[in-house]
Amino acid sequence: MPMETANMFNPASKVSKISHCSSMEQYKQMHDKSLKDPEAFWGEITKEFHFEEKVKGKFLDYNFDITKGKIFVRWLEGAKTNICYNCLDRHVLAGKGDQVAFYWEGNDPADAEVVTYGELLKDVCRVANVLKAKGVAKGDRVAIYMPMVKHLVVAMLAVARIGAVHSIVFGGYSADSLADRMMDAQASVLITADAVWRGPKLIALKEIADDALKLCSAKDLKVKMNLVVQHMNKVTAPQPASNGTAANGNVAKKTHFDDKGNFKVNWDPSVDVWWHEALSTVSSECDPVWMDTEDPLFMLYTSGSTGKPKGVQHTIGGYMLYTATTFKYSFDYHQGDVYFCTADIGWITGHSYVTYGPLLNGATSVLFEGVPTYPHTGRFWEIIEKYKVSKFYTAPTAIRALMKFGDEPVKKYDLSSLAVLGSVGEPINPEAWLWYYRVVGDSNVSIVDTFWQTETGGHVITPLPGATPCKPGSACFPFFGVDVALLDEEGREIKGEGEGYLVFCRPWPGMMRTVYGNHERFETTYFKKFPGFYCTGDGARRDSDGYIWVTGRIDDMLNVSGHLLSTAQVESSLVEHPSVAEAAAVARPHSIKGECLYCFVTLTEGNSFEDKLIAELKNKVRSKIGAFASPDFIQLAPGLPKTRSGKIMRRVLRKIAVGDKDFGDISTLADPSIVEKLFELRPKESKK
Q: Kindly list the residues in this chain that would bind ligand PRX in the complex (CB under 6 A).
A: 302, 348-349, 424-427, 449-454, 475, 536-538, 550, 552-553, 559, 563-564
CA 92 to chain centre: 29
User: In whole angstroms, how close is the CB of 56 to ligand PRX at the nearest point?
Assistant: 33
- SS3 of residue 51 by DSSP: coil
User: In whole angstroms, how close is the CB of 629 to ligand PRX at the nearest point?
Assistant: 13
User: In whole angstroms, how close is the CB of 484 to ligand PRX at the nearest point?
Assistant: 13
Strands 141-145 and 189-193: parallel
User: In whole angstroms, how close is the CB of 365 to ligand PRX at the nearest point?
Assistant: 18
User: In whole angstroms, how close is the CB of 352 to ligand PRX at the nearest point?
Assistant: 8
User: In whole angstroms, how close is the CB of 461 to ligand PRX at the nearest point?
Assistant: 8
When the beta carbons of 121 and 152 are compared against ligand PRX, the nearer one is 152
Give 554-573 as a DSSP string: -SSEEEETTEEEEHHHHHHH
Cβ atoms 117, 99 nearer than 8 A: yes
Nearest to 640 by CA among 631, 632, 652: 652
Cβ atoms 168, 298 nearer than 8 A: yes
User: In whole angstroms, how close is the CB of 475 to ligand PRX at the nearest point?
Assistant: 5
When the beta carbons of 293 and 450 are compared against ligand PRX, the nearer one is 450
> CB atoms < 10 A from the CB of 296, how many?
23
User: In whole angstroms, how close is the CB of 449 to ligand PRX at the nearest point?
Assistant: 5
- Which contacts qualify for 374-377: CB closer than 8 Å, 24 or more apart? 374/107, 374/199, 374/200, 374/238, 375/108, 375/109, 375/238, 375/239, 376/409, 377/402, 377/405, 377/409
User: In whole angstroms, how close is the CB of 581 to ligand PRX at the nearest point?
Assistant: 31
What values do phi and psi take at 568, rounded to 5? Answer: -60, -40
When the beta carbons of 184 and 426 are compared against ligand PRX, the nearer one is 426
When the beta carbons of 418 and 461 are compared against ligand PRX, the nearer one is 461
Tell whether omega for the bond before 375 is within 30 degrees of 0, i.e. cis. Answer: yes
User: In whole angstroms, how close is the CB of 155 to ligand PRX at the nearest point?
Assistant: 21
Report the half-sphere exposure of 583 (CA within 13 A, side-chain side). 28
User: In whole angstroms, how close is the CB of 543 to ligand PRX at the nearest point?
Assistant: 15
When the beta carbons of 348 and 613 are compared against ligand PRX, the nearer one is 348
When the beta carbons of 474 and 573 are compared against ligand PRX, the nearer one is 474
When the beta carbons of 145 and 347 are compared against ligand PRX, the nearer one is 347
When the beta carbons of 43 and 552 are compared against ligand PRX, the nearer one is 552
User: In whole angstroms, how close is the CB of 187 to ligand PRX at the nearest point?
Assistant: 21
Q: How far apart are CA 485 and CA 495, in angstroms?
A: 8
Closest residue to ligand PRX, based on beta-carbon distance: 454
When the beta carbons of 96 and 521 are compared against ligand PRX, the nearer one is 521
When the beta carbons of 59 and 353 are compared against ligand PRX, the nearer one is 353
**Residues whose CB falls within 8 Å of the CB of residue 490, separated by 6 or more in sequence, listed in order:** none
When the beta carbons of 553 and 620 are compared against ligand PRX, the nearer one is 553
User: In whole angstroms, how close is the CB of 463 to ligand PRX at the nearest point?
Assistant: 10
When the beta carbons of 387 and 501 are compared against ligand PRX, the nearer one is 501
When the beta carbons of 223 and 475 are compared against ligand PRX, the nearer one is 475
Cβ atoms 589, 667 nearer than 8 A: no
- SS3 of residue 484 by DSSP: strand
Nearest to 369 by CA among 211, 146, 50: 146
When the beta carbons of 188 and 323 are compared against ligand PRX, the nearer one is 323
> CB atoms < 10 A from the CB of 139, how many?
11
Q: How far apart are CA 321 and CA 503, in angstroms?
A: 22
User: In whole angstroms, how close is the CB of 503 to ligand PRX at the nearest point?
Assistant: 12
User: In whole angstroms, how close is the CB of 685 to ligand PRX at the nearest point?
Assistant: 27
Cβ atoms 124, 88 nearer than 8 A: yes
When the beta carbons of 87 and 348 are compared against ligand PRX, the nearer one is 348
The H or E element that residue 129 is part of is helix 117-133
Strands 141-145 and 557-560: unpaired
- Which contacts qualify for 490-494: CB closer than 8 Å, 24 or more apart? 491/529, 491/530, 491/531, 494/542
- SS3 of residue 542 by DSSP: strand
> Which sign, positive or negative, has the C-alpha torsion 445, 451, 455, 460?
negative
SS3 readout for 574-625: HCCCCCEEEEEEEEEEECCCEEEEEEEEEECCCCCCCHHHHHHHHHHHHHHC
Q: How far apart are CA 573 and CA 625, in angstroms?
A: 8
Nearest to 75 by CA among 312, 291, 316: 316
